[in-house]
Amino acid sequence: MLGQVDRIVQERLRHLLQELVERLSLATSEAVSLRRLTQDGRTLLTVAWYHPDPEVREATGRVVSAPGSVEDSGMWRPVVGGRVVRYHMPAGSLPEQASAAQAVLLARYPLRAIMGAPVRAEDGVLLGGVALIRFARDAPFSDADERILIAFAHQVSRLLALVELD
């Protein structure tokens, strides 16, 4: 029975995090990705991902949801290093930190801006990160956007800490 309880808790926990990511996405009209570091700190796993446009969500979901090593995490590297980062790219450009897989995705769906924030446990341990991703609208993220993202990261930190990774 305990195994069943653990499985149900994990399913509901992931469902809740997915719902929260979707709500942030719909509130901001941006894509949102929530990632968790593995226990060894070497790999980033996507816990929840959402884009308000179904076509973009389906086309980008596989790349965004793929596990990646921290070493090759591209734009996630500074976030898992513990920093809030913002990028605003001119049309047709790629961030220098983009990984090869991200570059392929961004050729089809040009990225205009991305902002990421670390997610930390209550004791300060880095759990992962959350990002707002702007594909279409050419506007940098604002200080208000950053405050929303940091508040979201803080709110989901207790839940993300409970996610068991496969």
**Mean of the pLDDT values across residues 5-31?**
93
Q: Which two tokens stand for residue 79?
A: 């976030």
Residue 147 is given by DSSP the state H
2-160 under CATH 3.30.450.40, yes or no: yes
- What is the domain partition of the chain in residue ranges? 2-160
Q: What is the DSSP code (8-state) at residue 64? A: H
Residue 72: the pLDDT is 67
Q: Is the pTM of this model over 0.85?
A: yes
Report, as an integer, the average pLDDT of 124-151. Answer: 92
* Contacts for 67-74: CB closer than 8 Å, 24+ residues apart: 67/43, 68/43, 68/44, 68/99, 68/101, 69/42, 69/43, 69/44, 70/37, 70/41, 70/42, 70/43, 70/44, 71/42, 72/99, 73/44, 73/99, 74/98, 74/99, 74/102
Cα–Cα nearest to 161, from 127, 123, 116: 127
**What's the pLDDT score for residue 94?**
72
Average pLDDT, the chain: 87
Rounded to an integer, the average pLDDT of 51-75 is: 77
pLDDT of residue 48 exceeding 80, the answer is: yes
